[in-house]
Amino acid sequence: MSLLQTVLPNAVQSIRAFRVADLQLEAANLGQHFLYAYCADATTKQQVLTTIAEAFYFPKHFGKNFDALSDCLTDLVHKAGRQPGFVVVLEQIPNTPKFDKEARENLLDVFRDAADFWAEKKVAFRVFYSFE
């Protein structure tokens, strides 16, 4: 039984009962990309985006804004060829004065839009997150 069989193929949800190591193993079993970013050390939007960009090996010219993040998660990857699917983990997204609830929601909206983009292409894009 697949660990992810109860998770929609294009969903953005709290990590809750899932463990990062189990998600990584499941991504490998499914032959999907596993993208992981540990964000607890970030306190600002720039730091969060830098953490994600470095963890996901985005190009050096990454613009460190939500539009650039969206482009890297969708068009850039799509142009690289057929994709097997994605399991994404954003762990410990900060709750700080410079990365508040609105910033967190904006970040998750980018990932929701990316999930919709990949759903249209029939590619699984599951995102799991936790807040600090």
What CATH number did the domain enclosing 81 receive? 3.30.370.10
The CA distance from 15 to 10, in Å, is: 14
Does 4 map to a domain?
no
pLDDT score recorded for residue 2: 78
Does 5 map to a domain?
no
Does 103 map to a domain?
yes
10-37 per-position pLDDT tens digit: 999 999 989 999 999 999 999 999 999 9
Its pTM surpasses 0.75: yes
62-99 per-position pLDDT tens digit: 888 999 999 999 987 767 778 899 999 999 999 999 99
The CA distance from 88 to 8, in Å, is: 13
97, two tokens? 């004065």
pLDDT score recorded for residue 1: 64
DSSP character string of 33-101: EEEEEE-TT--SHHHHHHHHHHHTT--TT--SSHHHHHHIIIIIHHTT-----EEEEEEEE--BTTB-H
Residue-range definition of the domain harbouring residue 45 = 12-131
Instruction: Compute φ and ψ for 125, nearest 5 degrees.
Output: -145, 90
Looking at the structure of the chain, the number of domains it has is 1
Rg (alpha carbons) of the chain, rounded to whole number: 14
